[in-house]
Chain A
């Protein structure tokens, strides 16, 4: 399974996967191409993109280079056949290039898949050491931003006379007070002569060595450089520099840690490089073979201390909820306990100090992990037992890890590192790599050092939007002489600037970066900038006025400075996508107790715990928009937050207790549907049901006031939040673009530099009679005793190896009467637990006709390991990107018409203050006896001989009966023509946030005279209006002078995967197990097999998009009839079960039960997971012998009924 699709795994035939740009490119043409990256001519194109122009630039560089591979383009002669086929170009065969997506301090090494010059999918570079090819949701969605029609597409200059001009006028020759040169040259001219000390450059963080080189050069000329990230992870490095001496940065090896204590560190969700942490965490948690090993020995254990409810917290075995600002007290107590436990000398004095600091923790947060039926719990005991466990492991010689989150002050990090030192983790799970400080100032330094009439260059970011609220960016801009802005969107920063330079997407850029361990990776362009944008490197180079402004040359020169000159290693670098052995050295340093203690005493401040009416606001990095950079990315906006399941908005998150105090008992109970919990109405479920009013969540709007600044937003009750903490996601309300233009509210407006991550003394005031609709994709938050997710405790497992077989109606007790030795397929002959199929016709025979499944062929199936799945949503995005899944907009989502083929169900169980959480990804289960198939009247959904449940879109008439009859409800229906929807159009005008038939009125009918848009326009009408337009939707008023149509449609089309059909309205769709990938794998295997019979695709060669992207390797796909395959092995694990197996639909997707690994000594220890308790209560079952029994008692009685 780990044998992923590799770039150069020696295929004898078939396509070659990875190809560097100049692979086989010794030709003079290529040289010329390199000289002219990107060729002259492209520069001159400054028209807004039109279809014609688009095709022109699409093909320009290619035509000049004359090479099939190098230009990422194919020639413009699209009507003519390739009489001379470009070398290595096979129409319809994708090409793969290694590249990387730069993030704040690191980069994600990638392989990008390109069709005819258009990148359509990115995947993690599995060749990269320590990678499994997994990535995160941002990376998957980044490709959509490339084709974002709202991105800045022109060089623009504001009229000089207007300072901070509101309006950016496009430079035209007729315009007043403008130079007689075209806009791009005009803008670039402004860059000239800025290489002096009067110039201040504000940038985003970057790991690019080329940028560092250029910055060094410019700094020598006096230019001042600053960096600003609204969400800044550099506190990790700052603390390490104090504790271990300067020049080091920590990075973690989670895989080896047997126990992890997270101090408000959401390393599985919102920390930098979370996907790598997920991989390490899953590695340490995975029970590889439960028939042999004891999970209690092999699984790691996660303790989490946090104020928000994060992905990390929801995946923790024990979770302590403490307001974000008070985590420092827990850290102090934990460190004191660790010092006690390990007995370190020389630091003993600190213990009492630490204890004094942490005093009264139990009094202040008496019910932080209180659980149903338990008395008020002792927080100090929680911390004590947790640290005792870490110490016990350390003494045993096992490695552990204590991590602190970016939200926490560096004192918490110092404490965490001290514990790691004590526990012996430094050098094993906590590694220190040497780094060179960037030497750039902060945004505060910029304000300090900026003198009136100095010049300001802003590269990336959007400080006008996200700079601290107390900084007064507008004033700074007012003071500036010349403001030049390079950015991806024409945002507020750009509108205030004198000149705007469109930024290139990373898939349009040459660049380089270093990953989290310091390995050098290339950023290679897959396509020339669609709108002529410029990279940061190019702007810096031009700023310096140097002769070389070609980013390719800059990058190559930097590379040669690192790896030496010569083509061979450069080519290998581009081909592999990384420079081997280039990771920074791991430093072996000792924790400097004295310095650290001094720093601690110097900086530590006791934070007053929040109380009723005096809230603490915690700002968090959003799972969709990050810090706002993906604010116009529809895929991300529509993917619900993994914990809240809310999409399209940010909300004011609060705990049940806080809601009860704010809204009153009754309203809070209503929000959680507690009435029904109390069994007043027939024992219906509803706890955490968030039951909505007629399917809609109209939330009360509150005004949140922090330090005199206010923001308004809807409140949302999230069980598990710390009491009196308000969680607010950053990055919304940027007001940019037509997709995300109206999403959420801007939390930056209440965020100051002194309280960047959490702020105390916040107040909430109700905005009378104001409600706001929140789109939540999951109305029912609990399983209510339905064993769709089956869980157990690791320490119970050995006594109850077959526990998953004791659930539901297919429990071994219920099915004792069913024969287990009837007709079977060959590959399940050894499965004694499986009921024989009652459907004899499946197995062929003289009178029964052909077999449904052909035993000679490969049989596809999937296993999802709920034990390692952390619920990160990466698979949802990968599926969306791979399978052309449209977005539907907030209103459609709110009424339950989302289209994603995989949904992640999140279930709470247990206590409403601190619940347990479980995640389950559900896609089409590919049932062998599929209920959907038998009810389709037109044979549109049918089975194939390889066990796939197929969907023939062209045959579907859309009765939706299949969806009704699907027990898993995984089918999605195109209620409107979602795929042909233009962005943000209403009544023929562009309008942000407007999607498809938002308000169901007659205006949306194509027959309505007022409807000039194609907002659901009938193709026939469109064709009637203008036959030459064909079926291209778009704005009528988007016509350009030359008769070209609105370019959006072209952009939308470009982003589609040509291997997958785009579904029209009225058609049902669903997960296909990435049929296109299966077919490609089979074809490649047949090519390879040639005359031999070896046409069986080897295991691991075909990867579905979700499997490929999963950083946790929680999804396995393959041939269930192949004894060597990973799925075959996993199906035979004890934990394997089918959801709703009693229906006997024989799903091909099965699950491995989730195991929790709690510590029996902890005060919040449960004998059995809460969801199992619910199952026992609801079904009078007795899985694991019930909570009242001694867990070590091997006897279990399962009630029969």
Chain B
């Protein structure tokens, strides 16, 4: 298709057509078009669907403060927790949101180190999603404790009474793991934003003189100040780029172990205990795979509608991108499915009747529905992606990703609740069901998450403009269409 333009003195035959790779940006779009398409999302008036969506999101998010104020004022009893099920939806939601938050950093860091250039179209939105998901996740461990006002005791702060946190507790590791992850994710995201913020600053500056309407003038002014402030004086000089690339690489290196560590540590909350169904060494890799699985699921859940709603975005986030993400989903989904099978095998093979019972109970006990929902969503549905049609049809992918999200929530529910409700001594077995407060608080986090994400779409470049430009053929200055022509 596209001809490579090389030095006229050296003639290299163009590669055979079957080895041609599809371009990451469709339709040979120029890099100017790229800037325009992404920036126009911010510059143009917000479309009607955005207003509808943000209204719904904000209204939904109101449930979050309602749920939390009621919880904190009245006591943890407003949730459906009991004895023996002392952890319920809060912990399920925490693990689920943290899992969602895995895709962003994986895409931006690991795929960056692996030189997977296709990541550039989706990494910005995925990172934003990560940060918002971790924010939602962080709410739950903070509020699920009985005496929220003493949460600070979990931090190693020297106090007059000289009691330190207990460093053997996985909950304490969580505090460090999650806060580190959040900090690094924010830094990484923000660093990547700087060149694009500068682009936005420049674009607003460029049109400043042409704006006459007072409201638009003010908006232009605010935008210039905002983007100007946060672009930290970026000029796009060679020196800036050199430092930027180096820092980006370093942060990518720093984030990579975090991708593995956060969910490993979250899984320690369970694996370190001795409860049958929790006490499993397979948990760290299996949780990480599950997290990536759900993270990619959520990225696609968000990106598929966005690419059709914003004009031109489907040429940047192409079907090929979706297909690649589907392959990652298929891989991690298979790992998760393998882990489910292995858990059962070890429960049988390990010869511990309590362990075996815990797994039988998952599949055939009171909560069998959650188990089979999990299996059908997490194990069955990703295998549809073996079929080309399935992984290249956006609406179909979207439906599957919804199943993935449901399935991964169910997985955490199965682990947390079914293990607890029937454990060692039959005399204390019980049953757990959530109250409206549990449900509404969870729904509230959706509203909170979507509100943040919609605001992000509206005010920040949701595609990494500079990075996408870098992977287009035109980025090559020798390309006929290459170079900064605009």
Contacts and interface: CB of A to CB of B under 8 A. Distances in A.
Interface of A: 681-685, 691-692, 694-695, 778-786, 788, 809, 892, 895-898, 903, 905-907, 920, 922, 931, 934-939, 955-961, 963-965, 967-969, 972-977, 996-997, 1000, 1002, 1004-1007, 1016, 1018, 1064-1068, 1139-1140, 1143, 1178-1179, 1201
B78 A969 contact: no
Contact of A960 (B87, B365, B368, B437): B87
Given A896-B85, A957-B153, 18 more contacts: A681-B364, A682-B364, A778-B428, A788-B425, A905-B425, A934-B169, A938-B150, A938-B165, A957-B151, A967-B274, A968-B424, A968-B425, A977-B75, A997-B74, A1004-B74, A1004-B78, A1006-B74, A1066-B148
B77 A685 contact: no
Interface string B350-373: 011110010011011110100000
A597 to B, nearest CB: 49
B145 A957 contact: yes
Given A782-B426, A957-B147, A938 B70 contact: no
A594 B153 CA distance: 82
Given A692-B431, A937-B169, A956 B146 contact: yes
Nearest to B81: A975
Contacts of A785: 353
Interface in B315-363: 351-354, 357, 360-361, 363
Give me the 5 closest cross-chain CB pairs, A-B, nearest first.
A958-B146, A1066-B146, A905-B427, A695-B431, A975-B77
A973 B83 contact: yes
B275 interface: yes
B206 interface: no
Contacts of A1066: 75-76, 145-148
Nearest to A789: B427
10 contacts: A786-B426, A788-B425, A897-B77, A903-B427, A931-B273, A955-B163, A960-B86, A961-B87, A976-B77, A996-B77
B435 interface: yes
A684 B77 contact: no
Contact of B170 (A935, A968, A1064, A1068): A935
A937 B172 contact: yes
B426 A784 contact: yes
B381 to A, nearest CB: 24
B360 A1000 contact: no
B76 A937 contact: no
B274 A1143 contact: yes
Most chain A CB inside 10 Å of its own CB: which residue of B170, B361, B422, B428: B428
Contacts of B433: 694-695
B429 interface: yes
Contacts of B352: 809
Given A682-B360, A934-B169, A956-B147, A903 B428 contact: yes
B69 interface: yes
A905 B86 contact: no
A959 B82 contact: no
| Interface bracket on B | 35 or more
B8 interface: no
A973 B146 contact: yes
Contacts of B175: 937
B84 A938 contact: no
Contacts of B361: 684
B353 A1179 contact: yes
B430 interface: yes
Given A892-B77, A957-B153, A1007 B69 contact: yes
A922 B436 contact: no
The majority secondary structure among interface residues of chain B is loop
Interface string B57-81: 0000000000001100111111011
Interface of B: 69-70, 73-78, 80-87, 144-148, 150-151, 153-154, 163-166, 168-172, 175, 269, 272-275, 351-354, 357, 360-361, 363-366, 368, 420, 422-433, 435-437
A960 B425 contact: no
Contacts of B365: 684
A959 B166 CA distance: 13
Most chain B CB inside 10 Å of its own CB: which residue of A781, A958, A1179: A958
B273 A965 contact: yes
Contacts of B78: 997, 1000, 1004
A938 B152 CA distance: 10
A896 B420 CA distance: 13
B346 to A, nearest CB: 15
B360 to A, nearest CB: 5
B261 to A, nearest CB: 18
Contact of B82 (A896, A938, A939, A958): A896
B90 to A, nearest CB: 10
A1006 to B, nearest CB: 5
A1143 B423 CA distance: 13
Given A780-B427, A997-B78, A935 B353 contact: no
A261 B146 CA distance: 52
B86 A938 contact: no
A786 B76 contact: no
A694 B73 contact: no
Given A934-B168, A964-B86, A1067 B147 contact: yes
Contacts of B144: 959
A967 B424 contact: yes
A780 B429 contact: yes
Contacts of A1006: 73-74
Given A682-B363, A937-B172, A969-B83, A1140 B424 contact: yes
A960 B275 CA distance: 14
Contacts of B436: 1000
B450 to A, nearest CB: 25
Nearest to B360: A682
Contacts of B86: 960-961, 963-964, 973
Contacts of B166: 934, 936-939
B425 to A, nearest CB: 5
A1067 B146 contact: yes
A869 B401 CA distance: 57
Given A934-B168, A974-B146, A1067-B146, A907 B82 contact: no
B360 A936 contact: no
Contacts of B69: 1005, 1007
A937 B154 contact: yes
Contacts of B424: 786, 788, 967-969, 1140
A780 B426 contact: yes
Contact of B76 (A691, A779, A931, A958): A958
Given A897-B83, A967-B424, A1006-B74, A1201 B351 contact: yes
A969 B428 contact: yes
Contact of B425 (A922, A938, A1067): A922
A595 to B, nearest CB: 51
A860 B253 CA distance: 53
A974 B170 CA distance: 23
B74 A1005 contact: yes
Contacts of B432: 695
A451 to B, nearest CB: 58
Contacts of A1005: 69-70, 73-74
Given A939-B163, A964-B86, A1065 B427 contact: no
Contacts of A784: 426
A1201 to B, nearest CB: 6
A960 B75 contact: no
Most chain B CB inside 10 Å of its own CB: which residue of A958, A959, A963, A968: A959
A905 B75 contact: no
B426 A895 contact: no
A780 B430 CA distance: 8
A905 to B, nearest CB: 3
A1110 B104 CA distance: 62
Contacts of B364: 681-682, 684
Given A779-B430, A938-B163, A975 B76 contact: yes
A955 B430 contact: no
A903 B69 CA distance: 34
